[in-house]
A and B are shown apart, each in its own frame.
Chain A
Amino acid sequence: MGTPFDIAYVYEYFLKLLPFIRISLLIVFGSIVVGMGVGLLVALPRLYKVPVLQRFSQVYASFFRGTPILIQLFLIYYLLPELLKLVSIDVTKVPVLIFVILAYGLHSGAYFSEGIRAAVSAVDRGQVEAAYAVGMTGYQAFTRIVFPQALAISIPILANLIIATLKDTSLAFTLGVMELTGKAQTLFTVSRHMLESYLALAIVYFILSFFLEKMFNFAERRLLKHEAPIAKEDKVPMGRKWLNRTLDPDIALSKGGAGV
């Protein structure tokens, strides 16, 4: 089981991992874009209660939230080419990275759809009524009143999802993508300093999550400047501030359970 622990390797591996942040972030970015599109498509029929489509959206969300991402990765990698073959599209030359992004995108799409629904329904009903009362059309009420408020509400949900996706990308190596985790596994083949390599890997992920979190807190403060600052005594005087924040998205975005 490897050779004695040597902290110097952690630093060395850390530096070697840095260039591969790009690949992990590329997967995150790509899948978030796909996920937002899919999420909106899936959320709309449920928001507007479109008969049949609403049911389809429900099944979609249930399946992609009800199965492990690892299984989904394999499923999409093996199943999608077969399905496309039926309509005679050959995807054997498509790089595996595309499959990975698609898999994470479809996965996060299910969560996005829930997030969108949660955010939209979190906007007070009275806001829409007031918009109608000043004479706005349904479209105006949505774009000018509901959407901006829902956006601010959904920032923590979005942050949570992006950080979760980042952590999930550590599984992309199973399909042979050379992202952070994949790289970390090649580092120790010669030196056999496995623990150092994985520690360096964890540190890289941690720093990334940390900065994403900070970034979103900043964005949230900007977007929510219209809300009165939450009274100090309401916030628990424990842990660091930004840690407290990580809590709230869990409540907003219920991963399973009945109905958000």
Chain B
Amino acid sequence: MKWDFSFIWTAFLDLLPALPTTLYITAVSVSCGFVIGLIVTLSRMYKVPVLSQIGTAYVTFVRGTPMLTHLLIVYIGLSMLLDHLSDKFGWSFNSVSIPMIGFAYIAFSITAGAYLAEVIRSGLLAVNKGQLEAAYSVGMTTFQALRRIVFPQAFAAALPNLSNSLIGMLHGSTLAFTVSVVDINAKAQIVASTNWKFPEAYLAAALLFWGLTVLIERGTALLEKRINVYNRGGVA
């Protein structure tokens, strides 16, 4: 086999149509995961009975198992459940009605939720207790205190971890090929095998992911600079 550098560029262009799929999966899983994570964290912080225990078990289990197993279990389990129900009640809606990417959305949101729960929690913990007390002392309600004082500071503290989670989910989205979703990775496989140029195709895919990751990192750094203005102490 001969090296074909120009094919890296060709492959790169071939991969681009699959880029939106990768970005959709990442965006959906991180946004839904954030909502799940927030619910879990708040229910654990305020010790909501049952919900907090379920939350803990969920976070523990998901973090202790590979993302791939989440996807496979959700895909197969949910399909079985749906088909069983639609059989029983005579629905026309069954597992085939859900597009494959839907399973990836659901499964990866579950994965992201567990990791983001921890990120959110560590962000909230980073806020000094005195901040909440000070907010109360000027007469704020709990809701006001959380929204105006605690959350903004927690967000600043959690930003690096949030960025990592986003990158993690971007990279994790490559698993979607197991449920036949054509993301960048699956596309690279197709490009590689149809042209019989494996190294070049994967190099192109790697470069694409690398670029996206660096973009997220740079963006985070910029954002961090802007929101951390208050942290710039005046210590000479």
Q: What residues make up the interface of A, taking CB atoms closer than 8 Å to B?
A: 1-2, 5, 62-63, 65-72, 74-75, 78-79, 82, 163, 167-168, 170-171, 181, 194-195, 198-199, 201-202, 205-206, 209-210, 213, 236, 238-240, 243, 246-248, 250-251, 254-258
Contacts and interface: CB of A to CB of B under 8 A. Distances in A.
Nearest to B67: A167
Given A66-B214, A66-B217, A240-B56, 9 more contacts: A2-B76, A74-B198, A171-B175, A195-B73, A202-B69, A205-B65, A243-B60, A250-B119, A258-B160
B185 interface: yes
Contacts of A247: 118, 121-122
Contacts of A210: 64
Nearest to B161: A250
B85 to A, nearest CB: 13
A201 B73 CA distance: 10
A72 B45 CA distance: 39
Interface residues of B, number: 63
B76 A258 contact: no
Interface stretch (B28-36, B134-142, B147-155, B202-210): B202-210
Contacts of B125: 236
A256 B216 contact: yes
Find the residue from A71, A72, A170, A202 having the highest chain B CB count within 10 A.
Answer: A71
B179 interface: no
A242 B73 CA distance: 26
A251 B122 contact: yes
Interface of B: 1, 3, 44-45, 47, 52, 56, 59-61, 63-70, 72-73, 76-77, 79-80, 83, 95, 118-119, 121-122, 125, 159-161, 163-164, 166-168, 170-172, 174-175, 185, 188-189, 192, 198-199, 202-203, 205-206, 209-210, 213-214, 216-217, 220-221, 224
B203 A79 contact: yes
A257 B168 CA distance: 12
A66 B164 CA distance: 10
Given A71-B202, A195-B80, A198-B76, A246 B63 contact: yes
Contact of B214 (A62, A72, A170, A205): A62
Nearest to A65: B213
Contacts of B174: 68, 70-71
Contacts of B209: 66-68, 71
A246 B60 CA distance: 9
25 contacts: A66-B167, A66-B213, A66-B217, A68-B185, A70-B175, A71-B206, A75-B203, A78-B198, A78-B199, A79-B203, A167-B65, A181-B68, A202-B66, A205-B64, A238-B44, A239-B60, A243-B56, A247-B118, A248-B122, A250-B118, A250-B161, A254-B161, A256-B167, A257-B224, A258-B217
B160 A257 contact: yes
Contacts of B64: 163, 205-206, 209-210, 213
B161 A251 contact: yes
A114 B138 CA distance: 43
A213 B47 CA distance: 25
A257 B215 CA distance: 10
B161 to A, nearest CB: 6
B206 A239 contact: no
B107 to A, nearest CB: 12
A11 B69 CA distance: 17
Given A78-B199, A205-B64, A256 B69 contact: no
Contact of B76 (A1, A78, A163, A236): A1
A67 B171 contact: yes
A250 B185 contact: no
B14 to A, nearest CB: 15
A79 B202 contact: yes
B122 A71 contact: no
A80 B199 CA distance: 9
A209 B192 CA distance: 35
A103 B44 CA distance: 38
B143 to A, nearest CB: 20
Contact of A170 (B3, B47, B69, B119): B69
Contact of A168 (B61, B66, B95, B121): B66
Contacts of A201: 69
A167 B3 contact: no
B70 to A, nearest CB: 8
Given A181-B66, A195-B77, A250 B213 contact: no
